[in-house]
Amino acid sequence: MDIAPEHSGTASGMMNTMNQPTRTSHEALQIADIGVSPELYDFVNAEVLPGTGISSEPFWKGLSDLIRDLVPTNEALLDKRAALQDQIDHWHRQHRGAAFDAGAYRQFLVEIGYLTDAGAAFEVATAGVDAEIAHIAGPQLVVPVDNARYALNAANARWGSLYDALYGTDAISEGLPAPSGGYDAVRGARVIAYVRAFLDTHFKLAQGSHADAQSYAVKDGELVVGLPNTVQTTLSGNDALVGYQGPATSPAVLLLKHHGLHVEIRFDRTHPIGKTDAAGIADVVIESAITTIQDCEDSVAAVDAGDKVRIYRNWLGLMKGTLQATFPKGGRQLVRTLNADRAYTTPAGGTLTLPGRSLLLVRNVGHHMVTGAVTFKGEPVPETFIDCAITSLIALHDLNGSGAIRNSRAGSIYIVKPKMHGPAEVAFADQLFGRVEDLIKLPRNTLKMGIMDEERRTTVNLQQCLRAARQRVVFINTGFLDRTGDEIHTSMEAGAMVRKQDMKKAKWLDAYERNNVDIGLACGLRGKAQIGKGMWAIPDQMAEMLKAKIGHPKAGANTAWVPSPTAATLHAVHYHMVDVGQVQTELSHRQRAALDDVLTPPMAVPPSWRPAEIDEELNNNAQGILGYVVRWIDAGVGCSKVPDIHNVGLMEDRATLRISSQHVANWLHHGICSKSQVLQALQRMAKIVDQQNAHDPAYQPMTGNLDHSIAFEAACALVFEGRAQPNGYTEAILRAHRLDRKAASAARA
């Protein structure tokens, strides 16, 4: 097979071609000390390297050197995780049945090196950070980058129609029927009233209300609003108007600004809504998803080189600005691309340009995952090495400015690092980032790091974790879901855990959420990094989200995760209601959360559930496990809205799977239920999950074929082997069964 031609700007393409390894179409290429999948090799050479200024041979040789040098450290860190867990398990077994002694437990964790000295106070020194991370508080989307349409939707969710978000959800639906068919004037009137109240609250007029406005114009650099009886008024604050489109006397768009977020009032008297509005307002569009994490980790199902190439190709399209998705809608084919930037005339007559897209971060996988796309000594290599090298290489296209659309205007690449355990692992990630910068010829600290506070050893050593990445850190967040899974596994031997619904009432959770903000503020993240909060996992319940999620900015978080562009638009309202900067100033003086509270396991003392309650919990967990796993194994879908046992759609990914599988494993270990009970629950719920997926013509039912269902087998393994899985992670079992499923499908073909 011919080698892919070299186009990366070297002096002699022919000479480089002669130096490339040769192979047949299915062999791994041996390059120095590593074997590389032909599919990955060809993709990088033909699609990624051209335009980066990086040549093929030094890239692959450098990657080989990186892998050879860093694999031993990665293995040692994983061994350290296991050794610490063994010691913790032993301590809990020794103290089982006794009242939990937080002080004795804390001292034990210090003695074994699990808890490290926090060291002297310091502030992070991250530089070259885009405003969307450093200064603007607003929602954050997380999206599987293997789905081009979803990736584009999320990237374009920087701006969203507040009218549409309110009208199309249950956000303002109390007492109203669900929207159906044509335009519902009653619902529409309620939406308009809500939005006018929003404008009155955050863009107050010197007199009167936006609800009574009959005209808007820009005169002498000031917004003039016409009210009934020829009354004219202006905004009570002169700095809110920052731009407009169209003629000043009759603008098509007005651009306002509050708490760093922009709001467009859009006028169109020919529009179905605008023509019925006294002022001609057709829509109000607000800045929504300020940042988006394009995810290579928990929300994707990537088990081989083909999967990884699909992920990397979409990330490449985003970085070059060329990604497209074609899909049917309303009887015709639509093509989705990245939105252009938005240009306005300023009140003083200048030009203002705003990004049309979210600032994009990319989440790599954790240190514990491996990929066969690249091998070292015949074994799969740490996948995070490959993710870091290739996603960074791809992002060179953005830094080089080769496309019409830019992501980072500050010249940085933002990589979110999940599932790190403590300061040594963060320091190792910092080392990996430095090696990749050298590999692709970037200045030191161009690669910025997001540290996900989702493992307990990171939580209790967060200050030292930040110190280990003090030149790079741009993001910390609390991830209740993975953090709960880790809490259950870390304290597996302590006793039976409380029911999942009671986990949010446990002492450790509030302390954990407070600790993250307290440490972030103390280490100087304000103005340099995001302090984030976790996901709203019920995408169809926006009214409840509006009630609950305002708690995140009130807690001092300048970003929080949402499940959809619509949810981002609604959550953005909270950042107008709450001045996060002021909240952070106030919180910086409070007493820190107690470490002993963070370390208190959420045990049921003593367990006292009725048989019906145990069955209910098992059914709930089993249904959630199967509903997610069957799509992961059979369809390769890593994140989806999965109906729960009550048919409420929940966003599920590997974090929720980790909780459910570890929870059942814990109850099984402590005799709350038997293996037979768990198996019966899984068998019962398989029927329910089959019924919930009956509308999908490609779905293969588990019922009637349980002995041969790879998905059902995987679900069982997650539970019955859950206690033995490192840190309770689900990836190894999922990956093995997905590969089996792919092999079976290939054999049938």
Nearest by Cα to 662 from 483, 519, 395: 483
Per-residue pLDDT of 104-152, as tens digits, reads 999 999 999 999 999 999 999 999 999 999 999 999 999 999 999 999 9
pLDDT at position 404: 78
Beta pairing class for 413-417 and 359-363: parallel
Cβ neighbours for 35, distance < 8 A, ≥ 6 positions apart: 28, 29, 374, 375, 376, 378
Write the CA distances from 405 to 159, 358, 359, integer angstroms: 16, 12, 11
Mean pLDDT of 443-467: 98
Q: Give the residue numbers marked as catalytic.
A: 363, 653
Cis peptide before 606 (omega within 30 of 0): yes
First to last CA, the chain: 25
Write the CA distances from 659 to 83, 296, 404, 447, 467, integer angstroms: 22, 20, 43, 31, 30
Using CA atoms, how far apart are residues 689 and 472, in angstroms rounded to an integer? 44
Residue 662 identity: Q
Mean pLDDT of 160-179: 93
pLDDT at 85 over 70: yes
CB 423 within 8 A of CB 116: yes
**Helix H or strand E segment including 666:** helix 654-669
Q: What are phi and psi of 270, to 5 degrees?
A: -100, -10
β-sheet bridge partners, residue 564: none
Using CA atoms, how far apart are residues 718 and 732, in angstroms rounded to an integer? 10
* Half-sphere exposure at residue 339, Cβ-oriented, CA atoms within 13 angstroms: 19
Query: Maximum CA pair distance of the chain?
Result: 83
pLDDT at position 8: 33
Mean pLDDT over the full length of the chain: 94
Nearest by Cα to 8 from 43, 47, 57, 51: 51
Share of the chain above pLDDT 70, in %: 97
Residue keyed to tokens 């759609």? 649
Using CA atoms, how far apart are residues 496 and 401, in angstroms rounded to an integer? 55
Q: E-strand spans in 418-556?
A: 447-453, 473-478, 530-533
pLDDT bracket for residue 23 (50, 70, 90): low
Mean pLDDT of 185-214: 97
* Half-sphere exposure at residue 745, Cβ-oriented, CA atoms within 13 angstroms: 13
Write the CA distances from 288 to 141, 155, 172, 440, integer angstroms: 10, 11, 18, 33
Burial of 555 (0-12, 13-18, 19+ CB in 10 A): buried
Range scoring the smallest mean pLDDT among 182-186, 252-256, 271-275, 451-455: 182-186
- Other beta carbons within 10 Å of 431: 14
pLDDT at 9 over 50: no
CB 460 within 8 A of CB 598: yes
Using CA atoms, how far apart are residues 341 and 141, in angstroms rounded to an integer? 19
Nearest by Cα to 248 from 212, 267, 223: 223
Q: Which two tokens stand for residue 314?
A: 């979409």
Q: What are phi and psi of 40, to 5 degrees?
A: -70, -45
Mean pLDDT of 479-505: 96
pLDDT at 6 over 50: no
Q: Which two tokens stand for residue 330?
A: 């309303």
Cβ neighbours for 476, distance < 8 A, ≥ 6 positions apart: 450, 451, 452, 453, 462, 466, 516, 519, 520, 525, 529, 530, 531, 532
Using CA atoms, how far apart are residues 426 and 251, in angstroms rounded to an integer? 51
**Helix H or strand E segment including 17:** helix 13-19
Q: What are phi and psi of 340, to 5 degrees?
A: -75, 170
Q: What are phi and psi of 31, to 5 degrees?
A: -125, 110
Residue keyed to tokens 């629950």? 681
Q: From the CA atom positions of the chain, what is the Rg in Å?
A: 27
Using CA atoms, how far apart are residues 213 and 509, in angstroms rounded to an integer? 47
Domains and CATH numbers, the chain: 13-78 (no CATH), 159-287 (2.170.170.11), 611-748 (1.20.1220.12)
- Stronger pLDDT, 403 or 294, i.e. the higher one: 294
Mean pLDDT of 578-582: 98
Strands of the 342-345 sheet, one edge to the other: 159-161, 281-287, 261-267, 253-258, 241-245, 342-345, 351-354
Share of the chain above pLDDT 90, in %: 92
* Ramachandran sector of residue 84 (left: φ over 0; alpha: ψ -120 to 50; beta: rest): alpha
Per-residue pLDDT of 305-334, as tens digits, reads 999 999 999 999 999 999 999 988 888 999
Nearest by Cα to 210 from 280, 287, 161: 280
pLDDT at position 237: 79
Per-residue pLDDT of 665-724, as tens digits, reads 999 999 999 999 999 999 999 999 999 999 999 999 999 999 999 999 999 999 999 999
Using CA atoms, how far apart are residues 307 and 40, in angstroms rounded to an integer? 10
